[in-house]
Amino acid sequence: KQEVTQIPAALSVPEGENLVLNCSFTDSAIYNLQWFRQDPGKGLTSLLLIQSSQREQTSGRLNASLDKSSGRSTLYIAASQPGDSATYLCAVNQGGSEKLVFGKGTKLTVNP
Partner 1 sequence: GAVVSQHPSRVICKSGTSVKIECRSLDFQATTMFWYRQFPKQSLMLMATSNEGSKATYEQGVEKDKFLINHASLTLSTLTVTSAHPEDSSFYICSASSPNSNQPQHFGDGTRLSIL
Chain positions contacting partner 1, by CB under 8 A: 4, 32, 34, 36, 41-46, 49, 89, 91, 93, 98-105
d(CA 69, CA 112): 38
Q: How far is the CB of 34 from partner 1 (least distance, A)?
A: 7
**Nearer to partner 1 among residue 16 and residue 35 (C-beta):** 35
Q: How far is the CB of 106 from partner 1 (least distance, A)?
A: 11
**Nearer to partner 1 among residue 3 and residue 15 (C-beta):** 3
**Nearer to partner 1 among residue 34 and residue 80 (C-beta):** 34
- Single-letter amino acid code for the residue at 50: I
Is the CB of residue 108 less than 8 Å from the CB of residue 86? yes
- Single-letter amino acid code for the residue at 55: R
Cα-Cα-Cα-Cα dihedral sign, residues 56, 57, 63, 66:
negative
Q: How far is the CB of 69 from partner 1 (least distance, A)?
A: 22
Q: Which residues pair with 17 in a beta bridge?
A: none
**Nearer to partner 1 among residue 17 and residue 39 (C-beta):** 39
Give the H or E element holding residue 112: none
